[in-house]
Each structure stands twice: as structure tokens, then as C-alpha cells.
Copies of this chain bind each other. A is one copy, B any other.
Amino acid sequence: MSRRQVDVPALVEAARAGAPRAVARLISLVEDAHPALREVMTALAPHTGHAHIIGLTGSPGVGKSTMTNALVTAFRKQGKRVAVLAVDPSSPFSGGALLGDRVRMQDHALDPEVYIRSLASRGHLGGLSSATPQALRVLDAAGCDVVLVETVGVGQSEVEVVGMADTTLVLLAPGMGDGIQAAKAGILEIGDIFVVNKADRDGADATVRDIRHMISLGDRAQPGLWRPPVLKTKADRMEGIEEVLEGIEKHIAWTSENGELKRRRKARAADEIEAIVLSELRSRIGDLRGRHSIDELAEQVALGQSDPYRASDSILADLV
């Protein structure tokens, strides 16, 4: 982690002017949980709230990267500034974030209006949930019209992070994504738009029917709620992408009208605040940990002379 001095006002101004290096530097500050973040976030706050955040999730092999690529192409045709944020909890074995961001999206590597970034947040508690909204805040203030948040991993927390978006796309492939699997994975609840990609494969129509059926059985089938469309695409041939964009636009219009968009953004902000509070409390606990008290408590627990709950009561009494 770099702890060197940061010229926050200059950096924020450059990022707002669209300088990719300034944006990159700000997101690195987020990843590093740099002490200057507080000042950064204060400076960015008045410039946020413009970008539309689109989450994209799905099992490995459904074509997430191809779909992201296709959506970027489509948004660029509309003249929009686009950012792609790939949320990667950096499996220590796969080394996902080391792959290089631009390798994944060669079609747009040279387009200055497309900003592509992997967000590595190394297993710290709260890492994913505080880093993602903060990175979104940077991209929003930097003038992006659309930010696509794509999960690389497939864990629960990644799904939750994508679920923070204004509009969440869930990608499926024929055969892989039957309704019961989707229900188990918890994606039926978070998807605003379901997309069955690789629609030329056997079973695509069955998967579409299956997901529609599962939705019709759930809480979301109630009148007055958003009924998620289930679309078909062949992202590698740009087929069906216009329909996905239409679906996104309809969802934006619907959520804007009935206050759902405001509600989601408020919930995202609440998550962000909560993550910062927890991180601050963790660092206070860390401070305690160096001291005699917690060491002694841990020793008593390790020896079976006390239990972890009794010990935690003492810490809480010290802390609060």
C-alpha cells in the first residue's frame, strides 16, 4: 500500500476531466484503503448520482465477458462514456486480477471513452462491500454515463455486490441455468433482467420457459412489482443486444418513476456507510489487540479457562 502524499484536489479535478490515469489512481486509493480516501470522497460527493450502474453476474462459461463487450459496443454507439468494473476477489490461486484488464476487452482497449478496470480486494472483511461502492463513486464523479459491474468470481458476496446496482442483469446459458439452480444461487431475487446467452444452443427455449416459470411462482410475480423480462442473446454476434438495452431503459424508467432507483441508491449508500463504520471499528479492535488485555483474554480462551463470548464481552466494554 502506498502511503505517500496525495494531492487530492488535483487528482479529483483530473479525474473529473476524464483523465484515465487520475481515475486509475483514485481507484487504487480505494483498493489500498488509503488514508486520503476520506478527503477524496468528500471532494467527489457533489459530482455523483449521474451514472447508471448496471450489474452483470452469472456462472462461469455463460459468456459474461462477451456480453460485457457487446454492451460496451452498444452503449458506445449511443455516444455514452462507459466504464467496466470487474469485481474480482483475487483468489490467491487463480491470480485473476493479474491477468491484465485490457486483455479481457480487446475491442475497446484503445477507445478513450471506455474505461476498464479490475477491482481486486483481498479477502479483508468488508473489502468487497466497501471497495465496490467507493470505486463506483469515483467512476460516477469522473463523468461515466454507464458503469458495468461484472463479477469475475461466483461467491455470495460478489452476487451481493452486483445486486447493489441500479439494474442487475443475470446471464444464463442453455442447460446450465435451470430454474432450480438459479433459485439456489439466489439470483432469481437479484435479477432485474435475465438473459439466456448462447441462444443458438439446444435447450435455450426451455431455459427461458423455466426461468419465467420460476419468476411466476415467486414473490416478484405480485402486481405492482417489476416483472423481470427473460431475453435471448448471441452476444458474440451482437444478436439480441438491442433488446437488452431496451430492457435496461424500461427498467430505468420504471425505477425512476416509482422511487425504486432512489431506494436502491440509498441502500447502496447505507451499505457503504456501514462498511466504513465496521472498518473503523476493526481498526480500533486492532489497536486493542496490541495491548495486554486482548492477549490475556485470548490466552485464557486458548487454555479453556474462559470462552470466546465472555472474552468478547470484555472487549466490547473496552470499546464502546
Contact = CB atoms under 8 A, between A and B. Distances in A.
Interface of A: 37-38, 41-42, 44-49, 59-60, 89-95, 98, 122-123, 125-126, 129, 133-134, 153-157, 159-160, 181, 184-187, 262, 265-270, 272-274, 276-278, 280-282, 285, 289, 294-295, 297-299, 301-312, 315-316, 319-320
Contacts of A282: 278
A287 to B, nearest CB: 12
A41 B297 CA distance: 15
A304 B44 CA distance: 8
B59 A302 contact: no
Contacts of A285: 274, 277-278
Of the candidates A38, A90, A122, A274, the one having the most CB atoms from chain B within 10 angstroms of its own CB is A274
Given A41-B307, A267-B298, A269-B298, A277 B91 contact: no
B92 A304 contact: no
Contacts of A278: 125, 278, 281-282, 285
A149 to B, nearest CB: 17
24 contacts: A38-B309, A41-B307, A45-B306, A45-B307, A46-B304, A47-B304, A49-B303, A93-B185, A95-B181, A95-B185, A98-B184, A123-B157, A125-B278, A134-B308, A153-B155, A269-B298, A269-B299, A269-B302, A269-B308, A272-B301, A273-B294, A273-B311, A280-B316, A281-B316
